[in-house]
């Protein structure tokens, strides 16, 4: 989904928390700085940052088993795969 969908800052923060990943670990996995990740997570709406950086964070979270759920009338969200290794 990361190539088509631009996550919100809250989705990134929630996904990271659900996956049990520290900011420093996610930033390293996505090849961005911790301050850049903090700015993304602090965004009220769509995550602030360059599109390629947001996509890199989303890919790193997806690799950790996070599924991004687009707005479908009930609001955007995240959930974990049953088996992260199966992704």
SS3 assignment for the chain: CCCCCCCEHHHHHHHHHHHCCCHHHHHHHHCCCHHHHHHHHHCCCECCCCHHHHHHHHHHHHHCCEEEECCCCCCCEEEECCCHHHC
Give every CB contact of residue 22 below 8 A, 6+ residues apart in sequence. none
What local confidence, expressed as pLDDT, does residue 73 receive? 73
Please determine, looking at this structure, whether the domain spanning 9-86 carries the CATH number 1.10.260.40: yes
What local confidence, expressed as pLDDT, does residue 13 receive? 97
What local confidence, expressed as pLDDT, does residue 71 receive? 82
The whole-chain average pLDDT of the chain stands at 90
What local confidence, expressed as pLDDT, does residue 85 receive? 59
**Model confidence pTM above 0.85:** yes
The stretches in the chain having pLDDT less than 70 are 1-4, 84-87
């Amino acid at each position: 989904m990361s190539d088509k969908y631009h996550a919100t800052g809250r989705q990134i923060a929630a996904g990271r928390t659900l996956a049990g990943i520290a900011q420093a670990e996610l930033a390293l996995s996505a090849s961005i700085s911790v301050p850049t990740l903090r700015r993304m997570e602090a965004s009220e709406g769509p995550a602030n940052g360059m599109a390629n950086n947001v996509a890199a964070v989303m890919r790193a979270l997806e690799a950790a088993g996070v599924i991004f759920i687009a707005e479908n009338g009930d609001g955007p969200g995240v959930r974990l795969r049953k088996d992260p290794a199966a992704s």
